[in-house]
Amino acid sequence: GIQVEQSPPDLILQEGANSTLRCNFSDSVNNLQWFHQNPWGQLINLFYIPSGTKQNGRLSATTVATERYSLLYISSSQTTDSGVYFCAVAPRVSGNTPLVFGKGTRLSVIA
């Protein structure tokens, strides 16, 4: 099955710093999503981005489908950005489309 690798596994930032999280995947995908799992366990949808670039406030994401990677940029980080960031992909548009999750990047933003 499709493999998803995220890097780095852990990241500690000073408040206000910028960061880039990376997601590599092993096959063509029709769905790629970034999630933030907050300390309470909730999975927050950040981006649906099977290709291209999107921005939402201090966060932006880019997926280069032909090279099978995606990047999540966090600018001017805040303590509320702490948590685990997951990249998840699915290879098909129809039928059962379970998302395959990476192991995540655990981000800690310190004041």
Partner 1 sequence: EAQVTQNPRYLITVTGKKLTVTCSQNMNHEYMSWYRQDPGLGLRQIYYSMNVEVTDKGDVPEGYKVSRKEKRNFPLILESPSPNQTSLYFCASSSPRLGGYEQYFGPGTRLTVT
Residue type for position 70: S
| Residue 103 touches partner 1, criterion: CB under 8 A | yes
The tokens for 78 are 């805040």
| Residue 105 touches partner 1, criterion: CB under 8 A | no
User: Per CB under 8 A, which region of 18-26, 27-35, 54-62, 63-71 contacts partner 1?
Assistant: 27-35
How far from chain centre, in Å, is Cα 44? Answer: 11
**Contact residue for partner 1 among 14, 56, 57, 95 (CB under 8 A):** 95
Task: Round to whole Å and give the CA distance between 82 and 67.
Answer: 29
| Residue 56 touches partner 1, criterion: CB under 8 A | no
| Residue 97 touches partner 1, criterion: CB under 8 A | yes
| Residue 28 touches partner 1, criterion: CB under 8 A | no
The tokens for 68 are 């099978």
Residue at token pair 């800690």: 108
| Residue 3 touches partner 1, criterion: CB under 8 A | no
Task: For residue 88, give the nearest of 29, 42, 40 by alpha carbon.
Answer: 29
How far from chain centre, in Å, is Cα 96? Answer: 22
The tokens for 38 are 């907050």
Total number of residues binding partner 1 (CB under 8 A)? Answer: 24
Q: Residues interacting with partner 1, by CB under 8 A? A: 30-31, 33, 35, 41-43, 45, 48, 50, 86, 88, 90, 93-99, 101-104
